[in-house]
Amino acid sequence: MTKQEKAAQILSDPRNQQEEIKALQDTIYVIGGKWKLPIINSLCNGNRRFRDIERSIPGITTRMLSRELKEMEANQLLKRTVTPNSPVLVEYTVTDYCQSFGDIILEMIKWGKKHREKIRTV
């Protein structure tokens, strides 16, 4: 790299890029893993009860669902409401804060469909 190139690189605001990468890594940290986005998606699709969510996500186990729900509740991505009727009713709903993942999830669903097409036709 010449001195000119070095100067150009420094001038292109690397600090900003570093911050963006860190923001990206933060998000990945919060919603990363196999299950969190599918759970949010399921909740957004109207599932509110434990077994309904479980049934709506192929492959998930009660253990993972339980853990993820707890963690996401702690991170204020969703809310757990208990109604103490004769059969106790437990319901999960996404918070506004979490709604903002809607767009990301939709994009990822689109991509996944395209990808399946591509795999199939190759």
**Per CB under 7 A, 88 contacts DNA:** yes
38 touches its own copies (CB under 8 A):
yes
Residue 67 or 114 having the CB closest to DNA: 67
Nearer to DNA, 3 or 120 (CB): 3
Amino acid at 58: P
Among 7, 27, 80, 81, binds its own copies (CB under 8 A): 27
The one-letter code for the residue type at 71 is: E
Angstrom distance (rounded) from CA 110 to CA 29: 23
What are the E-state strand segments in 5-112? 78-83, 89-94
CA dihedral 45, 47, 50, 53 (to 10 degrees): -40
Options 30, 37, 52, 75; binder of DNA; rule CB under 7 A: 52
Angle of CA points 39, 66, 59, to nearest 5°: 55
Asked if 73 is part of the footprint of DNA (rule: CB under 7 A), the reply reads no
Interface ranges with DNA (CB under 7 A): 1, 33-35, 49-52, 59-64, 66-67, 69-70, 80, 86-90
